[in-house]
Amino acid sequence: MDLFILSIVVLIYLLMVGYVGYVAWKRTKSSEDYLVAGRNTHPYIMALSYGATFISTAAIVGFGGTAGVYGMGLLWLTFLNILVGIFIAFVFFGKRTRKMGHNLNALTFPEFLSKRFNSRFIQYFSGIVIFVAMPLYASVVLIGMARFVETTLGINYTFALIAMAVIVAVYVVFGGIRGVMYTDALQGTIMFFGMAFLLVTTYWLLGGVIHANELLSGMSAMVPKAAAATGSTGWTSMPITGSPFWWTLVSTLILGVGIGVLSQPQLVVRFMTVKSNRELNRAVLIGGVFIAMMTGTAFIVGALSNVYFMQHSGQLAIQAAGGNADKIIPLFISTAMPLWFAYIFMITLLSAAMSTLSAQFHLQGTALGRDIYQSIARKTGGSSVMVARIGIVIAVVIAVILGLILPANIIAVGTAMWFSLTAVAFLAMYVCALFWKRTTKEGAIAGLVVGTFFTAFSYLFINQKAAEALGVCKALTGKVVIATAMPWPTVDPLIVGVPLAFILTIAVSLLTKAPDKELLEKTFKEV
């Protein structure tokens, strides 16, 4: 390790982030600036902030490593990310969210839903869901970065975990969402070029696109017996339809994240930071290209790492990583790439981690300050911003603690859990809020509450990967899960939970009094 070069690279990066954070702090004068960036964000900044928030070390390290196990079938997630997470989200959801958020003067996602349905309960319940559940997602992002630093640079895992959390906390506490979005744009640009170089270099190392993919296809006979027994057919083909391997890949990893992106609170709020639909239209292409490069590269490189490790160590990627998929990408970078690129890629991962963490910490802080404290105590102004800043500090501490105690192979699982929870809890209410005027407060609450508790119960007691990682079912019942009949231990709660939440929201709405016409006129008026 060349400490001098590493120090220079990191110092330049931190100075750039520090300067951008300072500019954001100087431009943050009000609670509207702190929460929605004054509603006048440039489309380039908005698109890269959305993309950089969406794509984290969880995607690059966690899902990249998972692709080393599940193969290129994960590229279907890239397709969904672009179709659902960018095109549908921006064109159909983003425009209505921007308009309605402006009409209702909403500054957070829970507040948007609360004002749409005239329900203070929706705001603080949603805030509680975010503040309680999101630390798991934040912690796996921290883990992804810390594992890379540990594997590549030999730096202590605990030190790396804490140091990065503190750096992010500082500029989020003082800069609010302007600090988040400005640094996101910088970090997203770095991420794009770092991943582009990784993709090109990987194919060059393995003899070109066609040759590398042919080598990976030829390794299908090397699939571990345990994976083959559960449905795996290789790294360039989909698993046997309906097998446990297929259910995990499709329902949890692909659909869980691919559909869950629509209801991500930290992403939805980005739509409320632009002043017109024109900015959203201009952001679609930028966001689509960015997401394609980020996720496509991670999944392709993760799968192809099997070829590299087999050629150089006679092992599959998961075997070379000691059974921990979270270490596959860091190990591949440290062994296959030149040392100088390891340093550059560390900055890419720092950017990915910090951009997502900043949004997560900001969201948790505003959930506590505005959605819980202000909603219940009915306090306004500076007091809610102060509580939000305190909430950010609490969120950082919780994420660090979880980062120290969570088990191996948790990054992709933890990410999918958060995305699925938001989809089941929020998606039905959010879709109906935007597109169905007949939705009532009671219907929205029914879908929100039942969806939240259904997902929590499923992850704690039914879904095997989640229950095994969390350990609650094992501690209470002595069993990993309480339902062992296939396919339920491998089916993600989203598959049942999202339809259930929609049915409840629609049915209860039809059985209760129609919403107030004045509220609907105010909400849906053109601006």
User: What DSSP letter does each residue of 422-470 carry, written as one string?
Assistant: HIIIIIHHHHHHHH-TT--HHHHHHHHHHHHHHHHHHHHHT-HHHHHHH
* CA nearest neighbour of 346 among 21, 14, 81: 14
* CA nearest neighbour of 356 among 204, 144, 151, 197: 144
386 belongs to a structural domain: yes
285 belongs to a structural domain: yes
**Two structure tokens written together for 377:** 């105590």
Q: Could you tell me the residue range of the domain that residue 293 belongs to?
A: 3-416
196 belongs to a structural domain: yes
Helices and strands: H and E segment counts in the chain: 28, 0
Per the CB < 8 A criterion, the answer to whether 140 and 409 are in contact is no
Per the CB < 8 A criterion, the answer to whether 326 and 62 are in contact is yes
155 belongs to a structural domain: yes
d(CA 469, CA 329) in angstroms, rounded, equals: 21
Given this model, what pLDDT does residue 38 score? 47
450 belongs to a structural domain: no
User: Using only C-alpha atoms, what is the Rg of the chain?
Assistant: 22
**Two structure tokens written together for 508:** 């209860």
Count: domains in the chain: 1
Q: Which residue has the tokens 């966690």?
A: 62
What are the C-alpha distances in Å from 124 to residues 128, 367, 435, 475? 6, 8, 23, 30
What are the C-alpha distances in Å from 333 to residues 194, 257, 344, 345, 513? 12, 25, 11, 8, 59
* CA nearest neighbour of 361 among 91, 177, 146, 158: 177
283 belongs to a structural domain: yes
- The DSSP result for 478-527, as a single string, is SSS-S--STTGGGS-HHHHHHHHHHHHHHHHHHHSPPPPHHHHHHHH---
Given this model, what pLDDT does residue 303 score? 94
CATH number of the domain residue 153 falls in: 1.20.1730.10
Per the CB < 8 A criterion, the answer to whether 60 and 329 are in contact is yes
- pLDDT per position in the chain (527 positions), as tens? 566 766 777 777 777 767 776 666 666 555 555 544 445 565 666 666 677 666 766 778 888 889 999 999 999 999 988 888 888 888 889 888 888 888 888 878 888 999 999 998 998 899 899 988 888 888 888 888 788 777 766 778 888 888 878 877 775 666 555 556 666 777 777 878 888 989 999 999 999 999 999 999 999 989 888 889 989 999 999 999 989 899 988 888 888 888 888 888 877 877 777 667 776 777 788 888 888 888 899 999 999 999 999 999 999 999 998 888 888 988 898 888 887 777 777 777 777 777 677 777 777 877 777 777 776 766 555 566 677 778 888 888 888 898 888 877 778 788 888 889 999 999 999 999 999 999 999 999 999 999 999 999 999 999 888 888 788 888 988 888 888 887 888 888 999 999 999 999 999 999 999 888 888 888 888 75
**Two structure tokens written together for 7:** 């120090």
The model carries a pTM of 0.81
d(CA 96, CA 277) in angstroms, rounded, equals: 9
Say whether the peptide bond before residue 487 is cis (omega within 30 degrees of 0).
yes
187 belongs to a structural domain: yes
